[in-house]
């Protein structure tokens, strides 16, 4: 009787832990593109997964492989910068497969362990390339990401890291990387979906991010990478600022932090 009781308690404990974990995680979004659906899965902070047709793309996977146990193996991995919240050799080793290509700037390639170097495809600011994966063509363009404020220039110098524009069919997805509201961001054209950072002191405040988004006018924008030294940025305020001036821009708020 005692053993059965202990087993019942253990089962209830596991169920409760699972329920809490599921509650904490932000569910994936299905976005209707021109010719197919895009599945957007927030992972944590600046990490996400995109699925389009039979193609799976990871962006800045860090934190170990456990966050990706329910995800398809990546065909492409995009890494934006050298910092630990964007690049992790251990995570890359654990999640990448033989077929996986790791797209990254030169500065990150120099920090790869030897086991990953054969998978690396170097792309720097303003470079572009295409990949044919399972009959689907994916275009990748590297765009600048850097700081503007004098006190923040040391964090992300111009030319070291990449933002990315990913073209899926005719659908254009922008990944900001760690940046401020630089002219290259404000001048973007025909962006369907954007992931825009906003955290101090490393990137930019909410009002700067909103101002930039109002300039380049993506159809959908996700605020992400919004944890700074003083906690989480006010993404509700970001949404208010954007939609007060342009209600045609859809702001999607997701939980990128399990302790939010």
Whole-angstrom distance, CA of residue 141 vs CA of residue 127: 6
What's the pLDDT score for residue 223?
A: 98
> Would you give the end-to-end CA distance of the chain in angstroms?
41
What's the pLDDT score for residue 258?
A: 76
Query: Which CATH homologous superfamily contains domain 28-251?
Result: Ribonuclease Z/Hydroxyacylglutathione hydrolase-like (3.60.15.10)
Nearest to 218 by CA among 77, 52, 27, 31: 31
Q: How many CA atoms lie within 13 A of 237 on its CB side?
A: 11
Nearest to 165 by CA among 115, 204, 218, 120: 218
Per residue in 102-144, pLDDT tens? 999 999 999 999 999 999 999 999 999 999 998 999 999 999 9
- Cβ partners under 8 Å of residue 189, min gap 6: 216
Whole-angstrom distance, CA of residue 242 vs CA of residue 219: 12
What's the pLDDT score for residue 22?
A: 37
Contact 180, 208 (CB under 8 A): yes
What's the pLDDT score for residue 144?
A: 98
What's the pLDDT score for residue 25?
A: 54
Strand partners, 29: 40
Domain range annotation of the chain: 28-251
Q: How many CA atoms lie within 13 A of 68 on its CB side?
A: 24
Q: Which residues of the chain have pLDDT under 70?
A: 1-26, 259-260
């Amino acid at each position: 009787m005692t053993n059965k009781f202990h087993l019942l308690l253990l089962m209830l404990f596991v169920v409760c832990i699972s329920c809490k974990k599921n509650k904490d995680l932000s569910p994936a979004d299905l976005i209707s593109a021109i010719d197919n659906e895009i599945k957007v899965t927030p992972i944590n902070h600046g990490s996400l997964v995109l699925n389009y047709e039979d193609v799976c793309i990871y962006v800045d996977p860090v934190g170990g492989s456990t966050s990706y146990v329910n995800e398809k193996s990546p065909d492409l991995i995009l890494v934006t910068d050298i910092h630990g919240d964007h690049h992790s050799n251990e995570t890359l080793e654990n999640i990448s497969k033989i077929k996986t290509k790791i797209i990254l700037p030169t500065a990150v390639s120099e920090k790869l362990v030897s086991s990953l170097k054969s998978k690396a495809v170097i792309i720097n600011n303003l470079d572009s390339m295409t990949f044919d994966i399972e009959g689907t063509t994916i275009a990748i363009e590297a765009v600048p990401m850097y700081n503007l404020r004098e006190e923040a220039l040391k964090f992300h110098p111009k030319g070291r890291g990449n933002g990315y524009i990913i073209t899926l069919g005719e659908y254009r997805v922008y990944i900001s990387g760690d940046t401020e509201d630089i002219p290259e961001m404000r001048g973007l054209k025909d962006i369907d979906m954007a992931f825009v950072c906003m955290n101090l002191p490393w990137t930019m405040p909410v009002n700067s991010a909103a101002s930039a988004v109002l300039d380049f006018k993506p159809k959908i924008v996700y605020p992400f990478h919004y944890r700074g030294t003083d906690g989480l940025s006010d993404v509700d305020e970001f949404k208010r600022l954007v939609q007060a001036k342009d209600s045609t821009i859809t702001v999607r708020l997701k939980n990128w932090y399990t302790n939010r």
